[in-house]
Amino acid sequence: MRKYLVLLLILSLILAATITTAAATQLTFATGGTSGTYYPLGEAMAQVWSKHIPGINVTVQATGASAENIRLINDKKVDLAFVQNDVNHYAYKGIEIFKNERRADFKVIAALYPETVQIVVRAESNIKTVADLKGKRVSVGAVGSGVEANARQILGNVKLSYRDLTAVFLSFAESADALKNGNIDAFFIVAGHPTTAIMDIATQHKIRILDFSDKEISNLRSDYEFYTKVFIPADTYSGLVPPATTVAVKAALVCNSDLDEALVYNLTKTLFEHLRELNHAKAKEFSLLHAKIGISTPFHTGALRFFAERNIK
């Protein structure tokens, strides 16, 4: 009898654990490559949500970042994603990299932090400006990515196109390796600084990030208002010489349109109420006051409910 009772107790515990696991809401969070900012930041956010929201389990997925993430969200393959504000705009309007492929089935939770356009060269390079990329071997990001769209816009701003240079289409990590090995002359990265891939190369080589003139920034913003002017200090990377003035877009957190309002409210509330627990430097740039700034596409009602409670316009 005792053996029977022990066995029954064990089976009951297993059944209870199974029911609890099944009842948990499983969310998949599309981030970016492991050498960028999105992936480690996504892991930090997932830990905070999973810790503070009962019945929530958030799993982070490495991806090709913004453009791929919008497609994953629209295809209901993931629940949450990081996407640049400019890529949100392209997808919603069906323009640029989403021409003839409108992807509007998503909602924004919050704008998060600036994503800096960093055009990286070796310190000894004779490339001093964006215009100097003419005739050079340049990694412009993965094909059809948000980075590639930014690269085309920035090159076009100084009257250059891919016909004027040798464009190669590499990930962040591949770009860093190619510059280290002398296989390219420069590469574009659009990510929060400091960026892992650039930190990697800066430990071995002195680097420069190309400066944008005020005129270049003004002209770029007249065509693409989502860009803002930013400054990268010299101590951002160990081998950065000198500091740089460049431009940025904004990272946004987006979700499936059909996620429950109460769930999105809790995700938004928990994120902004536990910013100090986020184990990533970028979290210091999150601002509730700026959470709606720079976004041209619709917000989720759950996020809007939280912003209304905090009087965020």
Domain boundaries defined on the chain: 2-115+250-309, 117-248
Judge whether residue 306 has pLDDT over 90: yes
Q: What is the pLDDT of residue 11?
A: 46
Q: Phi first, then psi: give them for residue 279, nearest 5 degrees.
A: -85, 65
d(Cα 114, Cα 134) in Å, to the nearest integer? 28
In the chain, the percentage of residues whose pLDDT exceeds 90 is: 75
Mean pLDDT, rounded, for 192-215: 92
pLDDT band at 225 (very low <50, low <70, confident <90, very high): confident
Judge whether residue 1 has pLDDT over 80: no
- Give the highest mean pLDDT range of 83-87, 114-118, 166-170: 166-170
Q: What is the pLDDT of residue 3?
A: 52
Q: What is the pLDDT of residue 82?
A: 98
Mean pLDDT, rounded, for 83-108: 94
- Domains 2-115+250-309 and 117-248 fall in the same CATH topology: yes
d(Cα 305, Cα 307) in Å, to the nearest integer? 6
- Among 30-39, 124-133, 267-276, the range scoring the smallest mean pLDDT is 30-39
Mean pLDDT, rounded, for 69-84: 97
Q: What is the pLDDT of residue 2?
A: 53
Judge whether residue 22 has pLDDT over 60: no
The model's pTM: 0.75
Mean pLDDT, rounded, for 193-220: 93
The CATH class that applies to domain 117-248 reads alpha beta
pLDDT band at 264 (very low <50, low <70, confident <90, very high): very high
d(Cα 198, Cα 173) in Å, to the nearest integer? 9
Judge whether residue 6 has pLDDT over 60: no
Higher pLDDT, 197 or 264: 264
- Say yes or no: domain 2-115+250-309 is CATH 3.40.50.300: no
Judge whether residue 162 has pLDDT over 50: yes
Judge whether residue 192 has pLDDT over 90: no
Judge whether residue 18 has pLDDT over 50: no
